[in-house]
A and B are shown apart, each in its own frame.
Chain A
């Protein structure tokens, strides 16, 4: 971890034991708060079938995988999972491609309309779901894209692309222009310089952008709820709502599927989070 080798704020070396204890107690308490819901989720999912009906604080006494078996065997979970993976995966591929070409153009070329486009990318991030959702719904209905995964992907592009283009732009800003120029001198076309020279250098940022696209699409609720009304077209975020409806709920099913969804997402997240934050704030720290 690079942070450990950095000089740290003064005062750290001559901290009194009392202050030290206080520091650790505070951090442990904070960790407990951040960890507890997740731990409880896992514990509940491992209870037997109707175990969720009691909130006894005992650690479960008969661990069982019934809930997982039911989720995988008796519900549409796997169909929804496939839908979610398809929607999120394709959004990621298309989103990263569009965001990187745009980010590159914005970073390297001063052309008429550049400022306007940058403003637009910022503004579109403010768009509330509510204003776009009805016209988009009508547009999708007219094009026959309701209950179709491509329709959902198109809708997700509107959320993911502006932000990702912004992130890619600030990363390209940090790659020296001399590198592109060297590529051009060596006989590459402008696009070749971008594709073969700059893009490989931007790999960390591409990973982050990809991850951001994926998470956006993976966790989206509003568009998916409205556009995907057929049972077998639902994504996870929509399907899960069904387990805990107004009149009937089965938290056993819900907790087990939540664990299945959250664990892979969390694992990947913890790997890339450091880059994610750098990407988010680099535009700000550079100015």
Chain B
């Protein structure tokens, strides 16, 4: 109930400020541009394949257009854009001081957190819904494999949830929105590329741990159409850990001052 009121307030604040519109527009523009590029590439490739049948064997529109779109484009845009959605959640309230009133209302810290987090998540899901027009467009012209597509989207949702949780945590630690956004972006980027940082120590224990921590590595399976419980658990754990730490950081305000 209280979660719902906070959720509504946050969503409203997203839409009365330009943030939501800018994020939606940029997201649609960039992903649309890449979609166009992949589709044109694929069209040329298939025309060449039509002339020399030897190439036609591995022609697959799901693999050729949708998979790179999800894995290399949407997932990467998320890395840039999601920190912008979460940066204001707590940092702004702390800067303006509205947190003082919010925390003196009879709401639990967990309800505040959940309301805010779900608002960001809802906005992110809205963004993903926008991208559904690409598979619908492709599906209307060619035969699409829906399985890998669905698992890809599931992967994006899980990954987005993890990104947002990290963003909320960092937003609760600072009162500067830019700091929150940049720090979130940096940490996510490091987690993203963790294994390539230690490429030279392949086979070492450290490399294995880092590879497991890497978001990129975890996402790979989803893009291919494999729903690995290990990856699902990884994303959920990451999300819950971040939310739990955020809760602690909020609660600590009550005794730390």
Query: A and B: partners?
Result: no
